[in-house]
Amino acid sequence: MSKRVILLGPPGAGKGTQALIIANTAGVAHIASGDLFRKHLGEGTELGILAKDYMAKGELVPDDLTIRMVLERMTEDDASDGYVLDGFPRTVEQAEALDEALLSQGQEIDKAPLIEVGKEELIRRLSGRWICTDCQTPYHQVFNPSKLTGKCDLCSGDLYQREDDRAEVVEARLDTYDVQTTPLIGYYQSQGKLVRINGEQEVDLVTSDLGNAITLSDGFS
Protein backbone atom coordinates (compact mmCIF):
# COMPACT_ATOMS: atom_id res chain seq x y z
CA MET A 1 0.00 0.00 0.00
CA SER A 2 1.24 3.48 -0.80
CA LYS A 3 2.83 5.59 1.91
CA ARG A 4 2.25 9.32 1.64
CA VAL A 5 3.47 11.60 4.42
CA ILE A 6 3.92 15.36 4.82
CA LEU A 7 6.47 16.30 7.46
CA LEU A 8 5.71 19.66 9.08
CA GLY A 9 7.85 21.79 11.37
CA PRO A 10 9.65 25.13 11.65
CA PRO A 11 13.15 25.89 10.35
CA GLY A 12 15.62 24.24 12.71
CA ALA A 13 13.27 21.46 13.81
CA GLY A 14 15.27 18.82 11.94
CA LYS A 15 12.70 18.08 9.22
CA GLY A 16 15.30 17.36 6.56
CA THR A 17 17.21 14.90 8.75
CA GLN A 18 14.07 13.11 9.91
CA ALA A 19 12.45 13.06 6.47
CA LEU A 20 15.51 11.34 5.02
CA ILE A 21 15.61 8.77 7.84
CA ILE A 22 11.90 8.00 7.51
CA ALA A 23 12.08 7.74 3.72
CA ASN A 24 15.08 5.39 3.82
CA THR A 25 13.54 3.25 6.55
CA ALA A 26 10.15 2.97 4.80
CA GLY A 27 11.68 2.54 1.34
CA VAL A 28 9.95 5.59 -0.13
CA ALA A 29 11.13 8.81 -1.80
CA HIS A 30 12.27 11.89 0.09
CA ILE A 31 10.84 14.86 -1.82
CA ALA A 32 12.26 18.19 -0.62
CA SER A 33 10.88 21.30 -2.31
CA GLY A 34 14.20 23.13 -1.99
CA ASP A 35 16.02 20.31 -3.79
CA LEU A 36 13.41 20.36 -6.56
CA PHE A 37 13.90 24.07 -7.21
CA ARG A 38 17.69 23.69 -7.30
CA LYS A 39 17.42 20.71 -9.67
CA HIS A 40 15.09 22.44 -12.13
CA LEU A 41 17.04 25.70 -12.05
CA GLY A 42 20.36 23.89 -12.44
CA GLU A 43 19.17 21.73 -15.33
CA GLY A 44 17.35 24.58 -17.06
CA THR A 45 14.12 22.61 -17.40
CA GLU A 46 10.90 24.19 -18.65
CA LEU A 47 9.65 24.50 -15.07
CA GLY A 48 13.01 25.82 -13.93
CA ILE A 49 13.03 28.54 -16.60
CA LEU A 50 9.50 29.59 -15.64
CA ALA A 51 10.45 29.71 -11.95
CA LYS A 52 13.60 31.69 -12.72
CA ASP A 53 11.57 34.32 -14.58
CA TYR A 54 9.42 34.97 -11.50
CA MET A 55 12.43 34.98 -9.17
CA ALA A 56 14.31 37.41 -11.43
CA LYS A 57 11.40 39.85 -11.06
CA GLY A 58 11.47 39.44 -7.30
CA GLU A 59 8.10 37.72 -7.38
CA LEU A 60 7.00 34.57 -5.54
CA VAL A 61 6.87 31.43 -7.66
CA PRO A 62 3.14 30.67 -8.19
CA ASP A 63 1.69 27.70 -6.31
CA ASP A 64 0.66 25.92 -9.50
CA LEU A 65 4.26 25.89 -10.73
CA THR A 66 5.57 24.49 -7.44
CA ILE A 67 2.83 21.87 -7.41
CA ARG A 68 3.71 20.84 -10.97
CA MET A 69 7.30 20.24 -9.83
CA VAL A 70 6.13 18.17 -6.86
CA LEU A 71 3.60 16.13 -8.87
CA GLU A 72 6.16 15.47 -11.60
CA ARG A 73 8.61 14.23 -8.95
CA MET A 74 5.93 11.92 -7.56
CA THR A 75 5.77 10.07 -10.90
CA GLU A 76 9.41 8.93 -10.70
CA ASP A 77 10.14 5.27 -9.99
CA ASP A 78 11.44 5.73 -6.45
CA ALA A 79 8.15 7.38 -5.43
CA SER A 80 5.92 4.59 -6.75
CA ASP A 81 5.57 3.11 -3.25
CA GLY A 82 5.14 6.48 -1.54
CA TYR A 83 7.05 9.54 -0.38
CA VAL A 84 7.83 11.92 2.45
CA LEU A 85 7.21 15.58 1.52
CA ASP A 86 9.64 18.00 3.16
CA GLY A 87 9.09 21.77 2.84
CA PHE A 88 5.82 21.49 0.92
CA PRO A 89 3.04 22.45 1.27
CA ARG A 90 3.73 25.70 3.15
CA THR A 91 0.25 27.23 2.99
CA VAL A 92 -3.36 26.06 3.13
CA GLU A 93 -3.77 27.06 -0.51
CA GLN A 94 -0.92 24.75 -1.51
CA ALA A 95 -2.33 21.96 0.66
CA GLU A 96 -5.76 22.27 -0.93
CA ALA A 97 -4.27 22.22 -4.42
CA LEU A 98 -2.19 19.16 -3.53
CA ASP A 99 -5.23 17.35 -2.12
CA GLU A 100 -7.22 18.14 -5.26
CA ALA A 101 -4.44 16.83 -7.51
CA LEU A 102 -4.06 13.63 -5.47
CA LEU A 103 -7.81 13.09 -5.32
CA SER A 104 -7.96 13.15 -9.11
CA GLN A 105 -5.58 10.16 -8.99
CA GLY A 106 -7.59 8.38 -6.28
CA GLN A 107 -4.95 9.15 -3.64
CA GLU A 108 -4.61 11.18 -0.46
CA ILE A 109 -2.04 12.10 2.19
CA ASP A 110 -1.91 9.46 4.94
CA LYS A 111 -0.33 11.42 7.78
CA ALA A 112 1.09 14.88 8.58
CA PRO A 113 3.45 14.70 11.59
CA LEU A 114 4.42 18.06 13.10
CA ILE A 115 7.84 18.34 14.77
CA GLU A 116 7.38 20.92 17.53
CA VAL A 117 10.31 22.90 18.95
CA GLY A 118 10.10 26.02 21.14
CA LYS A 119 11.15 29.36 19.66
CA GLU A 120 14.11 29.89 22.03
CA GLU A 121 15.53 26.48 21.16
CA LEU A 122 15.05 27.11 17.43
CA ILE A 123 16.93 30.40 17.67
CA ARG A 124 19.72 28.66 19.60
CA ARG A 125 19.99 26.00 16.91
CA LEU A 126 19.78 28.29 13.90
CA SER A 127 21.85 31.24 15.11
CA GLY A 128 24.75 29.12 16.35
CA ARG A 129 26.11 28.24 12.91
CA TRP A 130 29.49 29.60 11.79
CA ILE A 131 31.41 28.84 8.59
CA CYS A 132 35.10 28.97 7.67
CA THR A 133 35.84 31.76 5.20
CA ASP A 134 38.51 29.66 3.47
CA CYS A 135 37.38 26.01 3.32
CA GLN A 136 33.64 26.51 4.11
CA THR A 137 33.68 23.92 6.93
CA PRO A 138 30.56 24.47 9.08
CA TYR A 139 30.63 24.73 12.87
CA HIS A 140 28.03 25.26 15.57
CA GLN A 141 28.86 27.08 18.77
CA VAL A 142 26.80 24.59 20.81
CA PHE A 143 26.73 21.29 18.92
CA ASN A 144 30.03 21.39 17.01
CA PRO A 145 32.26 24.25 18.21
CA SER A 146 35.75 24.85 16.85
CA LYS A 147 38.61 24.13 19.26
CA LEU A 148 39.92 27.69 18.97
CA THR A 149 37.22 30.36 19.10
CA GLY A 150 36.77 32.06 15.74
CA LYS A 151 39.22 29.78 13.90
CA CYS A 152 38.74 26.72 11.70
CA ASP A 153 40.19 23.46 13.06
CA LEU A 154 41.14 22.28 9.57
CA CYS A 155 42.80 25.29 7.93
CA SER A 156 42.94 27.98 10.67
CA GLY A 157 40.75 30.25 8.54
CA ASP A 158 38.50 32.83 10.19
CA LEU A 159 34.93 31.84 10.96
CA TYR A 160 32.03 34.04 9.93
CA GLN A 161 28.27 34.00 10.40
CA ARG A 162 25.98 34.32 7.39
CA GLU A 163 23.41 37.08 7.49
CA ASP A 164 20.58 34.53 7.44
CA ASP A 165 21.96 32.89 10.58
CA ARG A 166 21.97 36.01 12.76
CA ALA A 167 19.55 35.84 15.69
CA GLU A 168 17.38 38.77 14.60
CA VAL A 169 17.05 37.38 11.06
CA VAL A 170 16.30 33.91 12.40
CA GLU A 171 13.55 35.32 14.60
CA ALA A 172 11.98 37.08 11.62
CA ARG A 173 12.06 33.81 9.63
CA LEU A 174 10.30 32.02 12.48
CA ASP A 175 7.64 34.74 12.67
CA THR A 176 6.98 34.31 8.94
CA TYR A 177 6.72 30.55 9.44
CA ASP A 178 4.17 31.03 12.23
CA VAL A 179 1.98 33.27 10.07
CA GLN A 180 2.09 30.89 7.09
CA THR A 181 1.93 27.56 8.85
CA THR A 182 -0.46 27.92 11.80
CA PRO A 183 -3.48 27.66 9.44
CA LEU A 184 -1.82 24.66 7.74
CA ILE A 185 -1.57 22.86 11.08
CA GLY A 186 -5.28 23.42 11.61
CA TYR A 187 -6.00 22.17 8.10
CA TYR A 188 -4.42 18.76 8.69
CA GLN A 189 -5.72 18.57 12.25
CA SER A 190 -9.28 18.96 10.93
CA GLN A 191 -8.63 15.99 8.63
CA GLY A 192 -7.41 13.86 11.54
CA LYS A 193 -3.96 13.51 9.93
CA LEU A 194 -1.86 15.74 12.20
CA VAL A 195 0.39 14.09 14.81
CA ARG A 196 2.40 16.26 17.19
CA ILE A 197 6.00 15.19 17.86
CA ASN A 198 8.29 16.59 20.56
CA GLY A 199 11.27 17.84 18.54
CA GLU A 200 13.35 18.82 21.58
CA GLN A 201 14.23 15.21 22.36
CA GLU A 202 17.37 13.43 21.21
CA VAL A 203 17.35 12.80 17.46
CA ASP A 204 16.83 9.04 17.82
CA LEU A 205 13.83 9.58 20.11
CA VAL A 206 12.27 11.98 17.61
CA THR A 207 12.81 9.35 14.92
CA SER A 208 11.21 6.69 17.10
CA ASP A 209 8.14 8.84 17.84
CA LEU A 210 7.76 9.67 14.15
CA GLY A 211 8.00 6.01 13.23
CA ASN A 212 5.32 5.11 15.77
CA ALA A 213 3.04 7.92 14.56
CA ILE A 214 3.37 6.96 10.92
CA THR A 215 2.90 3.25 11.61
CA LEU A 216 -0.53 4.09 13.02
CA SER A 217 -1.65 5.45 9.64
CA ASP A 218 -3.25 3.06 7.16
CA GLY A 219 -0.55 3.73 4.60
CA PHE A 220 2.28 2.59 6.86
CA SER A 221 0.66 -0.35 8.66
Measured distance CA(28)–CA(6) in Å, rounded:
12
Under 8 Å CB-to-CB from 173, ≥6 apart: which residues? 11, 126, 164
DSSP class of 147: S
Closest by Cα among 3, 18, 5, 6 to 209: 18
Measured distance CA(137)–CA(89) in Å, rounded:
31
Alpha helices, DSSP H, located in 15-110: 15-26, 33-43, 46-56, 63-74, 92-103
Residues with a catalytic annotation lie at 15, 90, 129, 162, 173
